[in-house]
Chain A
Amino acid sequence: MRAGAVVPLALFAAALLLLPAAGPVFGALFPEVAEPLYRREAFAALALNHAGLVLFSLLPAAAIGIGLGIAATRPGAAETRAVADALVGFAQAVPPVAVIAIAVPAVGFGAAPALLALVCYATLPVLRATTGALATVAPEVLDAARGAGMTPRQVLFQVELPLAAPPILAGLRVAAVLAVATAAVGAVAGASCLGTPIIAGLVNGNPAWVVQGALLAGLMAFAVDGLLGLLAPGVSASSP
């Protein structure tokens, strides 16, 4: 289980360290390209920006997703649950790239449209996991807790959430992997991230830059998946 986290992380770190010195390698692989190494920004800076986008969208997404999930599963909150289900249904039909594109006229170019789409899409798996996990806590357990004199707040924090924690953490893992991918797409709206060399390479006809950005973005996704796998072992990031 440990190796599942350490190996991708080590590969990502190695790629980040070695890529700046890999100019000659890419020069040999892509002899037709005049500038084989992406130098407009340091890869480390792009990776840091990418990680920042993921982190700063994942935190609000986790708060909204878990909060809304708890609200939707309280007794008598059938309407809230229906609203949450309908929102998730609509949002899943729209691809993240469309949300980023639609957000540009409203919030301008840069990190803002990416952050907006990231928060929306990272919330969905957390919300789905939270409602699902809380709904499956056995009613006998809740009855027993209430019978023991626990207040609704105590039942939630001492019984329901601990029992529902593993699926919720798995939902967070899905959200994190999705956030890494969505952040990379944010480059089309001008966000500075590991998608930037991919877009710059596609626009300028430089396949070497495309490979460099794609390699780092892919390895970062595996590293994040592996790291969060430590929190939620045994559940794959993409199990439906």
Chain B
Amino acid sequence: MAGFAVLAPNRIVPPRAVALMDADAFAWLLPAAAAALGAAFLSGRAAALACGAALAGLLAGLGATGAALAGGSTVARLGPAAGAWVAAAALLLAARLALGRAGAGAVARALAAAGFAAALAALLAAGLLDHVSLVREAVARGPEVRAALAAHLGLSAAALLPALAIGAALGAAAFARPGAAPAIIGGLAALQVIPAIALFALLIEPFAALSRAVPLLREVGLRGIGAAPAVFGVFLYLLLPVAAATRAALGAAPAAAVDAARGMGFTPAQALLRVRLPLGAPVFLGGVRTASVQAVGLVTLGALVGAGGFGVLMFQGLGQFAPDLILLGALPVAALALVLDAALRAAEEGLAR
């Protein structure tokens, strides 16, 4: 959609484009952008702060322009269009690059993201974003969004936790028996080749048969269509990153450190607990991070086979050709994945010290 933003009288009527210069509230964005550019020549941290402030300003500008153009309507909504998306993406990228140039580690980056999230929450709480299309849609569908969040997190955890336990056991087995490692890791890698949509679909019938055969399982809600094939499918995909990371983590301790431990009279169990596990922890956490980010993304696709989560909103939006609803499903998934990634990276950095 062309234009900087799009204005729709309600969620059904096709929106019309709004140019940057049509909207008075955007006028002060230009000095902010100039300030961000200027700061880029000063220092990384200042530039990152300026980019973050400009991004928050862009959103507040959208809200203020929406309020001005809506003219008292409680259903009119201003949505971002190509211009606003490009500006937001450029500011986000610039902020990330500036942080990198300032030498900010994962912890600093996570703190910066948390600060930005707090600013965003303040804008929302102050009602400044009420006329932004996405916020309109989210407010109108409050209970659905909360249910989707709970279901998405629940399904991701239901796949991740067993994958951590069984993946770690498989990885440990592959480390302990190098002869069996190619079979274990290779088998899990072959699973990854199957397209997720095909794996979820193929799991429907086995679960339906299981539910027919065991009445007890049917009573606890296990059916062919529903959460079961999605959670089990995601679980299967997560085994490889966890197992590979566990195997690498156990082998991460330098041979000299293990030898020294043995020389000091450590038993193999002591060497494992006091040398291998502490030295391998950051590597293992890296696998947990990969698996968590994958879980959040893969669960989205589970909505196709009847599992809940943000995918439900996204596919509803596709069915109704409602861009706001599509975004309401897609943006939280991306945000969840980025938050998990940032938090676990920060934890990794903390452990590696």
B300 interface hit (Cβ, 8 Å): yes
Selected contact of B195 from candidates A92, A102, A207, A218, CB within 8 Å = A218
The answer to whether A188 and B315 touch (CB under 8 A), given A95-B337, A218-B198, A239-B189, is yes
- In the complex, are the beta carbons of B93 and A83 less than 8 A apart? yes
Q: Looking at chain B's contact residues, is the secondary structure mostly helix, strand, loop, or mixed?
A: helix
Q: With both chains docked as a complex, state the minimum distance between the C-beta of B105 and any C-beta of chain A, in angstroms.
A: 14
In the complex, what residues of A have CB within 8 A of residue B224's CB? 207
Whether B193 pairs with A225 at a CB distance below 8 angstroms is yes
* B326 and A92 contacting across the interface, CB-CB below 8 Å: no
Interface contacts (Cβ under 8 Å), in number, total 151
Q: Which of A12-20, A65-73, A208-216 faces chain B?
A: A208-216
Residues of B within 8 A of A138 (CB): none
**Residue from the set B92, B100, B304 with the largest chain A CB neighbour count within 10 Å:** B304
Cα–Cα distance between A115 and B330 once the two chains are bound (Å)? 18
> Given the interface contacts A94-B334, A202-B305, does A86 sit within 8 Å of B100 by beta carbon?
yes
CB of B194 to closest CB in A, whole Å: 5
Once bound together, how far apart are the Cα atoms of A101 and B97, in whole Å? Answer: 27
Interface centre among A87, A185, A188, A215 (most CB of B within 10 A): A188
Alpha-carbon distance A185/B352, docked complex (angstroms): 38
Output the nearest chain A residue to B203 by Cβ-Cβ distance. Answer: A214
Which stretch in B137-145, B173-181, B290-298 binds the other chain? Answer: B290-298
Q: Which residues of A contact B199 (CB under 8 A)?
A: 214, 218
- Residue of A whose beta carbon sits closest to that of B297: A95
Contacts of B64 in A (CB 8 A): none
B272 within 8 A of A: no
Contact A240/B197 with A105-B1, A215-B202 known, Cβ cut-off 8 Å: no
Chain A residue with Cβ nearest B290: A240
Q: A98-B330, A240-B290 in contact; A188/B318 too (CB < 8 A)? A: yes
Secondary structure type dominating chain A contacts? helix
Measured CB to CB, the nearest residue on chain A to B237 is A238
Segment touching B, from A37-45, A125-133, A157-165, A176-184: A176-184
**Would B198 and A213 count as touching, CB distance under 8 A?**
yes
B189 and A104 contact, CB distance less than 8 A: no
For A218, what are the chain B residues with a Cβ–Cβ distance below 8 Å? 194-195, 198-199, 202
B240, A238: Cβ atoms closer than 8 Å: yes
Q: Is the CB of A221 within 8 A of B193?
A: yes
A240 nearest CB neighbor, chain B only:
B244
A101 & B338 in contact (Cβ 8 Å cutoff)? no
Q: Which B residues touch A236, using CB under 8 A?
A: 185-186, 189
* Interface residue range, chain A: 35 or more
Asked whether A185 and B301 contact (CB < 8 A) given A94-B337, A240-B241, the answer is yes
Residue A198 at the chain B interface, CB threshold 8 Å:
yes
Q: At the interface, yes or no: B327 with Cβ under 8 Å from chain A?
A: yes
Q: List B contacts of A210 (CB < 8 A).
A: 201-202, 204
Task: Note all chain A residues with C-beta closer than 8 A to B317.
Answer: 101
Chain B residues with CB below 8 A from A97, complex form: 297, 300-301, 311, 314
Name which residue of chain B comes closest to A190, CB basis. B318
Q: Is B84's CB within 8 Å of the partner chain A?
A: no
Would you call A82 and B101 a contact (CB within 8 A)?
Answer: yes
Q: Which A72-98 residues have a C-beta within 8 angstroms of B?
A: 79, 82-83, 85-87, 89-90, 92-95, 97-98
Judge if B333 is at the interface, Cβ distance under 8 Å.
yes
Task: Say yes or no: is A217 at the interface (Cβ < 8 Å to chain B).
Answer: yes
Complex Cα–Cα for A211 and B198 (A): 8
Contact yes or no, A98 B240, CB < 8 A:
no
Q: Are the C-beta atoms of A217 and B197 separated by less than 8 Å?
A: yes
Known contacts A95-B297, A188-B318, A211-B205; decide if A222 and B338 are in contact (CB<8 Å): no
Provide the residues of chain A in CB contact with B311, threshold 8 Å.
97
B334 x A207 contact (CB < 8 A): no
* Interface presence of A195 (CB below 8 A): yes
Counting chain B CB atoms within 10 Å of each CB, the highest count among A105, A202, A221 belongs to: A105
CA distance A90 to B198 in the complex (A): 26
**In the complex, what's the smallest C-beta–C-beta distance from A140 to chain B, in angstroms?**
25
A237: interface (CB < 8 Å): yes
Complex CA gap A181/B187 in Å reads 18
Question: A153 CA to B293 CA in the complex, in Å?
Answer: 39
Q: Indicate if B323 sits at the interface (CB-CB under 8 A).
A: yes
B293 touches A92 (CB 8 A): yes
B interface, CB within 8 angstroms of A: 1, 82, 92-93, 96-97, 100-101, 185-186, 189-190, 192-199, 201-202, 204-205, 208, 224, 240-241, 244, 290, 293, 296-298, 300-301, 304-305, 311, 314-315, 317-318, 321, 323, 326-327, 329-330, 333-334, 337-338, 341
Complex A-B: 19 CB contacts under 8 Å: A82-B100, A90-B92, A93-B334, A93-B337, A98-B314, A101-B326, A101-B329, A101-B330, A102-B327, A181-B194, A184-B195, A195-B197, A207-B205, A207-B224, A211-B201, A218-B199, A238-B192, A239-B244, A240-B290
For the complex of A and B, 6 pairs with smallest distance between CB atoms: A95-B297, A181-B195, A105-B323, A238-B192, A214-B198, A98-B330
Q: A94-B334, A98-B329, A102-B330 are in contact. List 16 more A-B contacts (CB 8 A).
A: A83-B97, A85-B100, A89-B96, A90-B338, A95-B298, A95-B300, A97-B297, A104-B323, A105-B1, A105-B321, A181-B198, A185-B195, A185-B197, A210-B201, A221-B198, A222-B193
Question: A-side interface residues toward B, CB under 8 Å?
Answer: 79, 82-83, 85-87, 89-90, 92-95, 97-98, 101-102, 104-106, 177, 180-181, 184-185, 187-189, 195, 198-199, 201-202, 207, 210-211, 213-215, 217-218, 221-222, 225, 236-240
